[in-house]
Amino acid sequence: MHLAYPAVLSVLLFCTGLYGVLARRNAILVLMSVELMLNAVNLNLVAFDVWLSRTAQETLHSGQALTLFTIAIAAAEIGIGLAIVLAVYRNRGTSDIDKLRDTAEGHEPGGPGGDVPGSDASATPAAGEKAEATA
């Protein structure tokens, strides 16, 4: 088998993942796109390892070992990333990335310290609910 087939498939997978990271607004879909990009890299590592092991006398299989390391890192990344997304969803009620750009409390538009000057904190219902929740 030629090296071009897995390399082209890897490029297609990576480009699909890159499009998913850049175009998606849902945080879970962005994490899935990152996983797709990591799998494209894993495919490339294994393909080049097999290709180089045919040409070399000694086979070290370093590409396959690095792929196992990448899979372990990807599993930890998706576990931590999913926990963060679920915690943010519980606190904010959305997993839309555009709405989560400013995660500091009090920097919401129309809220205390927001973009609207002279806005009253008790005038907005969200600020009143936060005050009741902390009391």
Each residue's pLDDT tens digit, 70-105 = 999 999 999 999 999 999 889 888 888 887 776 555
* pLDDT, tens digit (0-9, with 9 covering 90-100), for 53-62: 877 766 778 8
HSE (CB half, 13 Å, CA atoms) of 86? Answer: 6
C-alpha span between 51 and 4 (Å, rounded): 11
- The CA–CA distances, whole Å, from 48 to 1, 55, 56, 64, 100 equal 12, 11, 12, 9, 40
C-alpha span between 134 and 39 (Å, rounded): 44
In terms of Cα–Cα distance, which of 34, 20, 33, 28 is closest to 96?
28
pTM of the full predicted structure? 0.69
